[in-house]
Amino acid sequence: MKKYVIGATPAALDPSVFELLDDVETATVGHFRHWGFMDPAIQALGTPTRVIGRAITLALPAQDSTLLHHALSQLRPGDVVVIDRLGDRKHACWGGGVTQQASKAGAAGAVVDGVCTDPSEIAAFGMPVWCRGISPITTRIYDLAGMLNMPVSCGGVVVNPGDVILADENGVLVLPPGDVAEVAEMAKAKQARQRANAEKIAAGSAMLGQLSGASGHVARDG
């Protein structure tokens, strides 16, 4: 049995994906979509920012980061590295050195279902990273096993290589490329309504309960 299972490199994302999702917030999508959101415990490391990119998936067993170091040479500009730590919450596979190499390759960011290390170094490279926290205990090159560009589980979500990752200050959303157009259309319409409602509230012409319909429900059923 092979130690390392390596799938095909996924196709590049269509440029329209970035245009469609440019101003879409994960929290807006959370108003109408019920799946694809990673565990809220996976948070932006340092100052939150936005990332849209192609998922390059990895599964790494507890203390071993052999395949991660190899996979860094396969990255392309705009990729988001998505790492399934297979339940490990102690050993940090992502730190300053890995960030430097990923940045050199042009990666857009990383999402780790586990802990990271070297937060100051990561911040210095300006690479957005989402993870479960910080640990001083790191992985090593043990040559144990791993998977690259195969379906993985990250934050309770199945992530396929080539999926679209949208991550911001509110969390991480995974979208199949075929869902992007519909999700973006719904999100932008929702955000437009939110802006209009905010103007009404600011002007004192309406209350949130009226705009959301909550007050109507209470009046009817109270």
Binding residues for substrate: 95-98
Please tell me the distance from the alpha carbon of residue 100 to that of residue 218, in angstroms, as a whole number.
Answer: 55
Binding residues for Mg(2+): 118
| H-type alpha helices, 84-141 | 96-105, 119-125
3-state secondary structure of 204: coil
Dist. CA 222–CA 216, nearest whole Å: 10
Are the C-beta atoms of residues 8 and 149 closer than 8 Å to each other?
Answer: yes
Amino acid identity at 182? E
Phi–psi pair at 132, nearest 5 degrees: -95, -5
Residue 50, CA distances (Å) to 12, 57, 138, 169 in order: 19, 19, 27, 7
Radius of gyration of the chain (CA): 20
- What the block records as the tokens of 54 is 């192609």
